[in-house]
Amino acid sequence: MNSRMLTILLPILFLTFLLLLFLLLLLHRRTRRTRSSDLDSGDIHISIQSSPSTLNLESEVFPAVHSTNTHIQSSSSSSSSSSEFDHDVFLSFRGDDTRKSFTDHLYYALNKKGINTFRDAEILIKGEAIKQRLEKAIERSKFAVVILSKHYADSKWCLDELAHIIKCKEEKELKVYPVFYDVEPSEVRNQTGKFGDAFARHAANLERTRKLENWRSALKKIAGLAGWDLCGR
């Protein structure tokens, strides 16, 4: 696909992605406000299909969100209020790959629509430990969108961030969605291609094998989640 065609398709993908997140946030807020367990997700008709590997988000994401919210509502009479959260969306990405392209456009588009989005640029408080600041931002976000690009696994920071995102998904009901940006989900899941090269370097330079296994586990789990496959677009 030539660069002109890519320039035409990417804005469409951005808008589709934006609309989906916006509707997810509306669903989330509606269930918290009404405390209803019978939200009818059938009224929403969004389906993204482009290849056999691309997930049907209408049939897989929305029921999952509904099920998760219903579980939260029914599990406690004092469910958390929106004041628990500082951000609607946390963006995890490899800066060298997408900061000035995909991530930049997505960040501004989300915020323009009133969706409070966190990314690690100019927001970090001077003097505060960066890792602790990022972990706190993840914990106080409703959603995490992980943009998995070719050199994502090159960064130990990104891998630590991803491991914490998966931990919060499992322990705090954080909703996580991957974007496979110019990489195949299988490369992420099995650590092949650029991801395999990165892990070979990490294995040679890292003494703590447990950390390495935590990273592998996080990548395998994120690759198995419903998300967006933008490889080759």
Angstrom CA distances, 107 to 14, 64, 121, 180, stand at: 10, 24, 11, 17
**DSSP bridge partners of 148:** 180
Distance separating alpha carbons of residues 23 and 39, to the nearest angstrom: 13
CA dihedral 175, 179, 183, 184 (to 10 degrees): 60
What H or E segment, with its residue span, contains residue 6? helix 3-34
What H or E segment, with its residue span, contains residue 60? helix 57-75
**DSSP bridge partners of 87:** 141
Question: CB of 223 within 8 A of CB of 178?
Answer: yes
Cβ-based neighbour number of residue 120 at 10 Å: 18
Please confirm, yes or no, whether 161 is among the known catalytic residues. yes
Q: What are phi and psi of 124, to 5 degrees?
A: -65, 130
- Which of 161, 184, 187, 207 does the annotation list as catalytic? 161
Give the residue numbers marked as catalytic. 161
